[in-house]
Amino acid sequence: MIAEIAAANAAFQVIKSAIKNSGEIASAGKAVIDYFSATSKIEEEVKKTPERKRSDLEEFLALEQLRKQEQELKELLIYQGRPGMWDDFQAFRVKARQQREAEEREVLRKQLAEKARKKKLLENIMLTLWMIVLVVTLLGIAGLALYLFLETR
């Protein structure tokens, strides 16, 4: 979580300086994406960490820092950005989140498809092996029957 917090802080500083210098968040596009990717990772990590391994204080402080940064970003966009910039930013944020979620779903879909393909391949291999065993057994039985038939003559 420390690496994600550091990444979020670094990206936030880039966003902050870009808005102060140019008044446009677009000039810090990559930093915005990095910031929200890092914040998403932090929030996911907090949710995924088992209760017994969590540090409540560390979690609280990390999330509180993100809230403060978001509030500061909101104030920067409202007071130093162009009119309506905060609303545009919120729309961008929703779109970016939807895109990340779509990418995650696509990765999961591909993983499930690969898993299903491997399972089907394994089933086919097992079926082929059983067929070979069956054919060899039948040939053995037929050979034994032929041998016994020829011996009795």
pLDDT at residue 133 in the model: 97
Residue with tokens 């059983």: 130
Q: Is residue 47 included in any domain, yes or no?
A: yes
DSSP track, 52-72: GG--HHHHHHHHHHHHHHHHH
Helix axes 29-48, 2-22, angle to 10 degrees: 150
Average pLDDT, consecutive stretches of 10 residues, N- to C-terminus, the chain (153 residues) = 75 78 69 78 74 68 83 81 81 84 94 97 97 97 94 85
Q: Which of 66, 63, 71 is nearest to 46 (CA)?
A: 63
Q: Is residue 123 included in any domain, yes or no?
A: no
Q: Is residue 127 included in any domain, yes or no?
A: no
pLDDT at residue 114 in the model: 97
Domain count, the chain: 1
pLDDT at residue 90 in the model: 85
Q: Is residue 94 included in any domain, yes or no?
A: no
Q: Write out the residue range of the structural domain in which residue 23 sits.
A: 2-82
Q: Is residue 135 included in any domain, yes or no?
A: no
Dist. CA 101–CA 114, nearest whole Å? 20
Residues in contact with 85: Cβ distance below 8 Å, sequence separation at least 6, in sequence order: 25, 77, 78
Dist. CA 137–CA 115, nearest whole Å? 33
Residues in contact with 78: Cβ distance below 8 Å, sequence separation at least 6, in sequence order: 85, 86
